[in-house]
Structure 1
Amino acid sequence: MSLPLTQAVRRELASLLRPTGEDLAPGTLGGVSGAAPLSYLPVFASVVVKIEADQERPEEFGRFRHRPRVLRVRGDLTVDVLPPVL
């Protein structure tokens, strides 16, 4: 879960994201106490984005301390060239 996307990033991602075909899934807004439940449409993990985060190695804590900010789509990268996420 990231901070809200800018309009420019939303427009670019709209044409790149592909739904998995699953129904809407239940979710929550992580880290926001009292946030109402929400639903989301699962998509294939096929797009790479550049993010800004408050810590370099979130795996040390199991999650980011604060939600990362999506800065831009990285059209020059594909998910198969990235290291696996633990």
Structure 2
Amino acid sequence: MSLPLPAPLRAELAGLLRPAGDRLAELPGTVGGLPGSPPIPYLPVAPEIVVEVLADQDRPEFGRYRHRPRVTRCPG
């Protein structure tokens, strides 16, 4: 999961993404907010698009990055 995408990048990706099904999935609320936050519903997309991300510090002992990665650009 990355930080929210800037509006121009969202618009660019919107035409490239395809749903991976028709069922919503949920992320625990702690992924997108503070502990105790409600789950975040989302529609999974097919893993066909490669984007460039900027990530700060890998934390393998926790199985995640220190901060959420930021999508910097997509193919175009």
Structure 2 unpaired stretches of 5+: none
Detail structure 1 runs of 4+ shifted over 3 Å in the superposition. Answer: none
TM-score normalised by the chain length of structure 2: 0.81
Cα deviation digits, residues 20-73 of structure 1 (max 9, x gap): 123111223416323321210011111111111112xx3723111110111110
Q: CA RMSD in A?
A: 1.8
User: How many residues are paired up?
Assistant: 73
Identity %: 52
Q: What does 1:23-38 correspond to in 2, within 5 Å?
A: 23-29=23-29, 30=31, 32-33=33-34, 34-38=36-40
Q: 2:48 is matched with which residue: 43, 46, 54? A: 46
Provide the residue aligned with 1:12 in structure 2. Answer: 12
Structure 1 unpaired stretches of 5+: 76-86
